[in-house]
Amino acid sequence: MACDEEELHEERLKRALAKMPSDENIAEMGERFKAISEPSRLKILLALSDGELCVEHIARVAGGNQSAVSHQLKTLKDNRIVKSRRDGKKVLYSVSDWHVMAMIELAKEHLGCDGQDD
Amino acid sequence: MACDEEELHEERLKRALAKMPSDENIAEMGERFKAISEPSRLKILLALSDGELCVEHIARVAGGNQSAVSHQLKTLKDNRIVKSRRDGKKVLYSVSDWHVMAMIELAKEHLGCDGQDD
DNA sequence: TTTTTATATGAATATGTATTCATATGATAA
DNA sequence: TTATCATATGAATACATATTCATATAAAAA
């Protein structure tokens, strides 16, 4: 049993090495996942899934104070996951990376906590 | 312009509040994303995408020393993303959560760094 | 049994980052 | 202009966690 498996594993090892993306690409993928891994940011994105909201409203939905939310929004913006536009005194944030939102939707479905839209 | 938008935004605020998953569910989603957000763990999962590998081989593909890899494998196992089986002296790890792997594949595609399988 | 090989793990350290506080900026209203 | 409202941001703190080192466990070989 050992011999054949050894070869099989060596094969896989080679293939895995060959297929491995560059460190740069892996870092970039990690950044994206990290951006949506913190509950506070996840909440913000869930809050924005229906459309743009101003910071104050985001803070009300997602919890936390204005400053914390603003910092997190900056992180999300730096990661190009949300974008913002100014409207008078307010700044409205909205999702810009729907690919990331799709992942969050997948995660929701997997948990079985995806409510029906109205 | 301000009045109609005000109402629209209040609407959205209410809907967002209504749709917001529980803190518990959000924490669980975050855990999953966090698990695949660290480059070291991401590499490990990419290494395992073709099939099971022993710890030594994982370490060779993913880089890092045996101890670090073992710690990360424990994290992944605790998160039920990988599973392990013993085969003699070796312990073979494999992916158990293909839902998570699908997300990683999505991320790869999004980066355009998804190579063709042979 | 003793030794060797493969993996796991506790503890310490190092690093990263979320949150808070105080304050700055930017826009509007008075 | 001054005052007020909405948001942004630097710095400090607090907390989480990745890595390393030393060592423990587990299986097989000698």
Dump pLDDT digits (tens) for A29-82: 999 999 999 999 999 999 999 999 999 999 999 988 999 999 999 999 999 999
**Residue B116 clears pLDDT 60, i.e. is over it:** no
Class of domain A36-111: mainly alpha
B89 touches strand D (CB under 7 A): yes
A67 within 8 A of B47, measured Cβ to Cβ: no
Residue type at A39 in one-letter notation: P
Distance CA B66, CA A29 (A): 24
What does the alpha-carbon distance between residue A54 and residue B75 come to, in Å, rounded to a whole number? 37
Query: Cβ of A73 < 7 Å from strand D?
Result: yes
Q: CA A38 to CA B36: how far, in whole Å?
A: 12
8 A C-beta contact, residue B58 and residue B48: yes
Neighbours of A10 (CB within 10 A): 11
Question: What is the per-residue pLDDT for B7?
Answer: 75
What's the gap in Å between the CA of A13 and the closest CA on chain B?
A: 7
Residue B1: pLDDT band with limits 50, 70, 90:
very low
Given a contact cutoff of 8 angstroms between Cβ atoms, the answer to whether B53 and A8 are in contact is: no
